[in-house]
């Protein structure tokens, strides 16, 4: 599943085309342009395993190839699979869209959803409400940090940060002059290079098919990051465009999108030993960290995240038990926090089990000896480890306070809405290109949509209790410098119960329960907000200076990292080259493809997991209660062995999931798993427990990703829901 945003000091990203493939055949997440550089030996090896495609078949350099059918969602991936705009993604990627479309009377989250005609398809909002198709990649390093750039002339770390951000925004603004484009400039090689990613954005997306939660989330957090797995983590949506074929906002007059490329669905699935490709938008891997950075994640960040998310889950679930509508409204947040909490525990265990910090210490010692011996290398490289450590140590001094304040900003609450409006108003005082990312004019539509979505997702009592908890934690973490705005609003040293009581009074007095008021605030001036009597707006105005100070400190840190991380990487690169070891690209939310094999693993002595599961396992796990509560119609078909053509001969049942040794991470949720012909056989949705810490290193023994077998989805559509028209669209040649 997709982890939540990672801590600020995740170290920057790596992108090196010229290096050979690593010794482990399936290691690495390869950018489209890098595929052609893997070499004849690598492609020959893949061909011998059953790959029938070439690098150019996957990506032709002009925005074409099979990879152009892989779409980006918010924090997830999808795959176009029909000539009329259908795309597949995970149920958990569409979760918020399903929730926002649901009511207590029509609970699609609980019961599932099937559109039997185009007219029945429901508007998708939330993270699945926009999809992006990659159209162009372009190196823009010279403009961002070349010798004539503002970065090269800057004298302070903050000025360097601002110079890079300004250059990126200028490039994006030029790119987005082309209609319907959503562009981004991504950093590679720890900020040594930058590339423009141009995407076509589609804004009318509709829900077509979603299994009941008892299928899509079967096993819940108990099975999360575990194997064997039996979740039917899939959903189907459709992209719509205006009648002239251009992207457009949701409208009844819109028609299905007809993409240039889409992926075929393979009805026969996979077998153990098959080669597969996993394509998507993986978020972050961190395979070149300093020892102190690893220790900070293992000992501070992940433990704090685990505790905090556990506490928030308990609060939200307690409120949800009081009222069905509240339970529906908090479902997405509970699921998100649950995934993040489980992930955090897995990271702690994996970092310790894999000895990541110890390995980083060994390499740091090797690097120091290497730099001391190599006087021919730039002096800046020799200085980089110590300078980088200085920057990181200074940043950690404020990390506790920042953690809780940032969680408060992210919380779906009236205060979160007010904070966003106040920050937007302050940014609006500046020229558009000088505003913070996310607060430019290009971001206004998204800001308005978030306020509309909040109307359907906020449960005031739950948000109040969660906010009170986070405020109390923030004050305790602040140490000698408490947040004065909170002291004034709630009293010094106030406990969570007292804070919640005051928040209840604020809820009674606020106008932010009215969507029209919140939408007006999106466009309000700083002066108008400062003059507001609304209690949440007043608190947001008072809190803004503290948050602005944290952001200013972050700019200074990031500016310093833009200097020292590339130098550190250059030194590390030279060390590894001297030992004949490859450095390959870290993930950075740009399009990648991983090669893999369907295979099981042995997590510990005397335990061996085979790589495929089936409906037999669903029946074995079934308890009749969450998280193992399968809908009756699914149980009836499974118990009757009503498998149709979807049974696997070796399994004697309908396949549900399969493992591969793919190199994946958060953001790969919904990534199509393709066979050697480029046909979709499954959707990536998770990793095994032993691979939760795989962001820090790939292992041939432990690195396994979990995929839902598409034959399970096809069986559900065919034998359970009778969605014949949808099945025919997915398999027109059947």
Q: Indicate which residues carry an active-site annotation.
A: 92, 233, 669
- The DSSP bridge partners found for residue 341 are none
Map tokens 């209609």 to a residue: 179
Dihedral of the alpha carbons of 600, 605, 606, 607, in degrees to the nearest 10: -40
How far does Cα 314 stand from its chain's mean position? 24
632 exposed, middle or buried (CB, 10 Å; 0-12, 13-18, 19+)?
exposed
Residues 453/127, Cβ–Cβ less than 8 Å: no
Give dist(CA 278, CA 297) in Å, integer. Answer: 28
- CA distances in angstroms from 275 to 35, 43, 51, 297, 471, listed in the order given: 16, 12, 7, 34, 50
Q: 655 to each of 263, 300, 614, 688, how far by Cα in Å?
A: 21, 40, 4, 18
Smallest Cα–Cα separation from 171: which of 180, 158, 181, 161? 181
Q: Which residues of 174-186 are buried (b: 16+ CB within 10 A; e: fewer)?
A: ebeeeeebbbbbb
Contact indicator for 658, 598 with CB cutoff of 8 Å: yes
Name the packing angle between helices 535-578 and 157-175 (round to 10°): 100
CA distance 651 to 654: 7
Pairing of the two strands 612-614 and 235-241: unpaired
Instruction: Kindly report whether the peptide bond that precedes residue 239 is cis, defined as omega within 30 degrees of 0.
Output: no
- How many C-beta neighbours within 10 Å does residue 590 have? 23
Helices of type H across 491-534: 496-509, 515-522, 526-530
Residue 491 neighbours by CB under 8 Å, 6+ apart: 498
27 DSSP β-pair partners? none
- CA torsion sign for 419, 420, 426, 427 is positive
As a whole number of angstroms, the distance between CA 427 and CA 629 comes to: 48
Instruction: Give the SS3 label for residue 25.
Output: coil
Q: Omega before 559 cis (within 30°)?
A: no
Question: Interior CA angle at 27 toward 23 and 30, to 5°?
Answer: 115
Helices (H), 374-514: 379-396, 399-410, 414-427, 444-457, 460-477, 484-490, 496-509
Task: Specify the pairing of strand 601-604 against strand 607-609.
Answer: antiparallel
Dump strand ranges (E) for 13-142: 70-73, 76-80, 86-89, 113-114, 122-123, 131-139
- Give dist(CA 565, CA 9) in Å, integer: 12
Tokens representing 623? 């308890």
């Amino acid at each position: 599943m997709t982890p939540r945003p990672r801590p600020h000091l995740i170290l920057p990203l790596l992108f090196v085309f010229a290096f050979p493939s690593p010794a482990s055949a399936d290691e690495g997440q390869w950018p489209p342009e890098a595929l052609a550089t893997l070499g004849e030996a690598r492609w020959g090896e893949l061909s011998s395993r059953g790959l029938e495609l070439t690098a150019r078949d996957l990506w032709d350099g002009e925005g074409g190839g099979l990879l152009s059918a892989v779409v980006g969602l918010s924090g997830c991936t999808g795959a176009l699979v029909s000539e009329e705009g259908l795309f597949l993604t995970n149920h958990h990627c569409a979760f918020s869209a399903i929730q926002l479309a649901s009511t207590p009377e029509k609970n699609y989250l609980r019961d599932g959803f099937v559109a039997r005609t185009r007219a029945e398809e429901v508007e998708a909002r939330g993270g699945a409400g926009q999809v992006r198709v990659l159209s162009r990649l372009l190196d823009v390093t010279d403009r961002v940090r070349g010798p004539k750039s503002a970065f090269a002339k800057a004298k302070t770390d903050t000025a360097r940060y601002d110079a890079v951000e300004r250059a990126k925004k200028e490039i994006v603004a030029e790119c987005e002059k082309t209609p319907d484009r959503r562009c981004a400039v991504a950093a590679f090689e720890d900020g040594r290079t930058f590339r423009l990613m141009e995407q076509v954005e589609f804004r009318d997306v509709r829900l077509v098919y979603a299994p009941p939660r008892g299928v899509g989330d079967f096993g819940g957090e108990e099975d999360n990051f575990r194997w064997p797995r039996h979740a039917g983590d899939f959903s189907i949506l459709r992209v719509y465009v205006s009648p002239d074929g251009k992207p457009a906002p949701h409208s009844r007059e819109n028609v299905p999108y007809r993409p240039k490329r889409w992926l075929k669905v393979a009805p026969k699935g996979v077998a153990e030993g098959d080669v597969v490709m996993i394509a998507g938008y993986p978020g972050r891997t961190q395979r070149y960290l300093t020892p102190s950075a690893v220790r900070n994640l293992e000992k501070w960040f992940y433990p704090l995240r685990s505790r905090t998310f556990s506490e928030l889950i308990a609060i939200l679930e307690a409120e949800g038990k009081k009222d069905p509508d509240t339970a529906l409204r908090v479902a997405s947040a509970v699921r998100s926090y649950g995934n993040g909490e489980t992930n955090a525990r897995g990271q702690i265990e994996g970092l310790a089990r894999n000895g990541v910090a110890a390995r980083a210490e060994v390499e740091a010692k090797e690097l120091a000896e290497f730099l001391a011996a190599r006087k021919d290398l730039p002096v800046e490289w020799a200085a980089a480890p110590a300078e980088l450590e200085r920057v990181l140590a200074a940043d950690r001094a404020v990390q506790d306070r920042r953690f809780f304040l940032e969680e408060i900003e992210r919380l779906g609450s009236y205060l979160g809405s007010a904070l966003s409006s106040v920050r937007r108003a302050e940014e609006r005082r500046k020229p558009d290109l000088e505003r913070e990312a996310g607060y430019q004019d290009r971001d206004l539509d998204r800001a308005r949509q978030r306020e509309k979505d909040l109307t359907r997702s906020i449960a005031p009592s739950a948000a109040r209790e969660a906010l009170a908890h986070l405020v109390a934690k923030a004050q305790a973490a602040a140490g000698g410098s408490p947040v004065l705005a909170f002291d004034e609003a709630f009293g010094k040293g106030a406990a969570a119960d007292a804070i919640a009581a005051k928040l209840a009074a604020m809820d009674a007095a606020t106008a932010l329960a009215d969507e029209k008021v919140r939408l007006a605030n999106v466009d309000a001036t700083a002066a108008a907000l400062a003059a507001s009597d609304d209690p949440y707006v007043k608190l947001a105005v008072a809190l803004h200076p503290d948050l602005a100070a944290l952001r200013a400190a972050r700019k200074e840190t990031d500016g310093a990292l833009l200097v020292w991380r590339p130098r550190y990487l250059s030194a590390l690169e030279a060390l590894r080259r001297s030992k004949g070891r490859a450095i390959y690209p870290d993930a950075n939310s740009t399009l990648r493809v991983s090669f893999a094999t369907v295979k099981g693993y042995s997590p510990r002595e005397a335990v061996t997991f085979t790589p495929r599961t089936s409906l037999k396992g669903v029946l074995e796990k079934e308890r009749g209660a969450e998280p193992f509560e399968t809908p009756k119609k699914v149980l009836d078909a499974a118990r009757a062995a009503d498998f149709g053509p979807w049974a696997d001969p070796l399994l004697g049942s309908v396949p549900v999931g399969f493992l591969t040794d793919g190199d994946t991470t958060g953001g790969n949720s919904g990534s199509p798993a393709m066979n050697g012909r480029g046909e979709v056989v499954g959707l990536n949705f998770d990793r095994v427990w032993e691979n939760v810490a795989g962001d820090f290193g790939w292992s041939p023994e432990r690195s396994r990703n979990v995929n839902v077998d598409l034959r399970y989805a096809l069986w559900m559509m065919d034998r359970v829901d009778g969605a014949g028209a949808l099945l025919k669209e997915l398999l027109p040649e059947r």
